Structure 1
Amino acid sequence: MFIKTFKKNYPLQLLLLTIIPLVMWASALANPPELNKSIFDMPFYNLLYSFTKDYRLFATITSFVLIFLQAIALNYLFSENHLCQKNTFLPAFIYIILMSCSRESMTFSSILFANMMIIIALHFFFKCHDKKEGIDEIFNASFFLALATLFYVPSAFFMLWMWGGFVVYKLYKWRSWVMSLFGYLTPFMLIVIYYYLMNKNIITSLFFNVEEWIQIDFNFLNTPIQVVYISALLLYTVPAIFKTASSRSNRIIEYRKKSGVLLVMFFIAIIPFFLSKTQTNMSFVFAIPLSFFLCNLFLENPKEKYTNMFLLIFILLSIFKVYFQV
């Protein structure tokens, strides 16, 4: 039922893309949670938080809209780069489900805004594959990764993703690597100049929680439903990645390169995942690459009956987690 819909029925896809997320968000819309705050929040998010912390309903509604728009943008990005079918919204649907994994996460958080910047960075990084050198695109991609870091500091690890992407694209010229550093450092230089002119302590403003950033945290397995959810996500992820990796040799070069970039992104995301102290929304860091891998798993499986069942289990488990996590 679901798989056939996401392959052919465009209007029904849009209906599912709206109704199921609204079911998941109904509780938060009725009683909005407090805005998220974590030790990884950076100046851009802290500024936003200071203006909106007393407007819970506004934050929840805006977060829902932002996630929906991010999902549509990501879906368009995948289809335009020949990573998925043009007539499916399944990547967008999966992204929304992954980004709605907990009621407490249905509001503003630094990861939410960081993901928005990372999606834009991914757009530019995909574009640089289509150019001879793509210097401008590399600068733009690293610039937006810096903006992501200025919302949520573990996003800095995604510079390793970009450099890994250079290897996938076979971009070994020194100009590409240097330009990525220039692009990444530019927003920080502007921030440093601002703090200097405002006579603020730069170290205190940017790195006041630095001693806590490197503490690995395994407390995300603190409730039974969280254990079940993470275990199920792992059971879905392993075959999804294997299926994507094993089928790359039969695809066009563009698909092999760009899917390779998403594989690198997934493995780099493991680092901020284990650093995360924001237990309710830490799966956000995987949402971008996972929406692609899970889409492949569901759409390219010839046994549609079982695929429908697995997708339904994934949806029901996500809804159950939202309403019954204690």
Structure 2
Amino acid sequence: MINQFRTSNPINAVYLFAYTFFMRIAIFAELPSKLNFEFLEPYTRFFIQIPIGNDLSPTTNIVLAALIVYLQAILFNLVINNHNLLSKPGYLPALFYITGSSLFMPFLILSPALVCNFLLIWVMDKLMKIGKSQNAIMLMFDVGMIIAAGTLIYFPFIVMLVMIWLSLLLYRSFSWREWVSGLVGFVTIFLFLGVFYYWNDSLGSFYRIWLPLANKFPSAFKIHYNDYLVLVPVALIMVLAMIQLRENFFRSFISTRKAFQMLFFMFLCAVVSFYTKPNFRLYHFLLCVPPGAVLLAYYFSNATKRWFYESLFLILVVATQYFLFV
């Protein structure tokens, strides 16, 4: 199966569509009686009313989520291939994006984090263009606005602001205009939001939007380890990918090296951003899927022992399905 997706054959897009729904067999087999979907943060719903969410039936919710994941996987695949992050273009990024988006039951339904992945993929694309741009001011401004739009949907997305400055450190020499432009783009969106709150005599509510940023990072975690055993094969593949990446690191293009470093920091930002939402749900970690899927795809793109990497992928798929059912 891996060899099939290593190629750029258009028929793979059809296989991916079928694979997307195959990875959701467990939730279709036992449909929840009701699914809630809060598309926007409360401070956004204050001035934007979108009549979707709780009116959707469970089947519609799950099918829409699957279609969104499939569309995101195709877009993600285009971005990774356009920036030549793998040894050759193919459909492996899309394959592992869909696989990563199917690891846990909360990943299979509509969620604000899932919607934000459209924006995260867009941010990834723009950040990887920094090194090729003569002037990154407008690029950073656009990224700031995209992150602001994501924050309107899901507040933890605000932590991606850090990626603006980390990416500039990786790709460019210091220019204060470039460092400020991303923040200006972000503030531009929230300036309009603040004006709206002011017109409605609700500036106190606008101030409370930012209080989660002062949350203390939790020092203790309650983890049911049996719920996360599916991550064992994922972790194994990631370790193998990092070993492979280290071996090829200095033989890769400079832009490729910097892109992987940037994606590593993006993965970390996605993980730690959960602290900004005290009642966060497991679907939050969908934000880790785009940068994580690149690393998984990198290993399978460079692996040479077919019996081993095909078996490893089969173990990953079977483990995912097993833990979804049980």
**When the two structures are superposed, what TM-score results if normalisation uses the length of structure 2?**
0.86
When residues 79 and 103 of structure 1 are mapped into structure 2, their CA distance, relative to the original with a 3 A threshold, is same
Q: Which runs of 5+ in 2 are unaligned?
A: none
Task: Tell whether 2:316 aligns with 1:317.
Answer: no
Of 202, 218, 221 in structure 2, the residue corresponding to residue 218 of structure 1 is 221
**CA distance in structure 2 between the aligned counterparts of 1:292 and 1:262, rounded to whole angstroms:** 8
- 2:121·2:290 contact (CA, 8 Å) conserved in 1? yes
Residue equivalent to 2:15: 16
- 1:161·1:264 contact (CA, 8 Å) conserved in 2? yes
RMSD over equivalenced CA pairs, Å: 2.9
Helix, strand or coil for the counterpart of 1:51?
Answer: coil
Of 94, 104, 107 in structure 2, the residue corresponding to residue 102 of structure 1 is 104
Residue equivalent to 1:128: 130
**CA distance in structure 1 between the aligned counterparts of 2:105 and 2:203, rounded to whole angstroms:** 36
Residue equivalent to 2:196: 194
**CA distance in structure 1 between the aligned counterparts of 2:74 and 2:142, rounded to whole angstroms:** 21
Task: Tell whether 2:284 aligns with 1:256.
Answer: no
* Equivalent AA in structure 1 for residue 103 of structure 2: C
Q: Deviations over 1:148-186 (max 9, x none)?
A: 122222222211222111111024110110101101111
Of 132, 146, 149 in structure 2, the residue corresponding to residue 147 of structure 1 is 149
**CA distance in structure 2 between the aligned counterparts of 1:269 and 1:105, rounded to whole angstroms:** 15
Which moves more between the two structures, 246-255 or 301-310?
A: 246-255
Q: Which runs of 5+ in 1 are unaligned?
A: none
**CA distance in structure 2 between the aligned counterparts of 1:52 and 1:34, rounded to whole angstroms:** 9
When residues 115 and 206 of structure 1 are mapped into structure 2, their CA distance, relative to the original with a 3 A threshold, is farther
Residue equivalent to 1:288: 290
* Equivalent AA in structure 2 for residue 189 of structure 1: L
**CA distance in structure 2 between the aligned counterparts of 1:108 and 1:213, rounded to whole angstroms:** 26
- 2:197·2:206 contact (CA, 8 Å) conserved in 1? no
Percent of aligned positions with the same letter in both sequences? 20
Residue equivalent to 2:6: 7
When residues 275 and 241 of structure 1 are mapped into structure 2, their CA distance, relative to the original with a 3 A threshold, is farther
**CA distance in structure 2 between the aligned counterparts of 1:25 and 1:103, rounded to whole angstroms:** 9
Helix, strand or coil for the counterpart of 2:303?
Answer: coil
* Equivalent AA in structure 2 for residue 231 of structure 1: V
**CA distance in structure 1 between the aligned counterparts of 2:324 and 2:202, rounded to whole angstroms:** 41
**CA distance in structure 1 between the aligned counterparts of 2:50 and 2:103, rounded to whole angstroms:** 21
Deviation of the 1:85 alpha carbon: 5.3
Residue equivalent to 1:203: 205
Which moves more between the two structures, 176-185 or 79-88?
A: 79-88
**CA distance in structure 1 between the aligned counterparts of 2:187 and 2:170, rounded to whole angstroms:** 23
Deviation of the 1:288 alpha carbon: 0.8
**CA distance in structure 2 between the aligned counterparts of 1:144 and 1:94, rounded to whole angstroms:** 24
Deviation of the 1:222 alpha carbon: 1.8
**CA distance in structure 1 between the aligned counterparts of 2:319 and 2:77, rounded to whole angstroms:** 23
- 1:195·1:201 contact (CA, 8 Å) conserved in 2? yes
**When the two structures are superposed, what TM-score results if normalisation uses the length of structure 1?**
0.86
When residues 209 and 200 of structure 1 are mapped into structure 2, their CA distance, relative to the original with a 3 A threshold, is same
- 1:42·1:152 contact (CA, 8 Å) conserved in 2? no
**CA distance in structure 2 between the aligned counterparts of 1:192 and 1:157, rounded to whole angstroms:** 20
Which moves more between the two structures, 229-238 or 154-163?
A: 229-238
Which moves more between the two structures, 276-285 or 93-102?
A: 276-285
Residue equivalent to 1:54: 55
Which moves more between the two structures, 80-89 or 90-99?
A: 80-89
Q: Deviations over 1:2-59 (max 9, x none)?
A: 2211223725533431222212224545735512569x94544796776321213333
Residue equivalent to 2:113: 111
Helix, strand or coil for the counterpart of 1:10?
Answer: coil
**CA distance in structure 2 between the aligned counterparts of 1:35 and 1:322, rounded to whole angstroms:** 20
Could you say which structure has the higher helix fraction?
A: 1
- 2:77·2:94 contact (CA, 8 Å) conserved in 1? yes
**CA distance in structure 1 between the aligned counterparts of 2:42 and 2:241, rounded to whole angstroms:** 33
Deviation of the 1:243 alpha carbon: 2.5
Which moves more between the two structures, 272-281 or 145-154?
A: 272-281
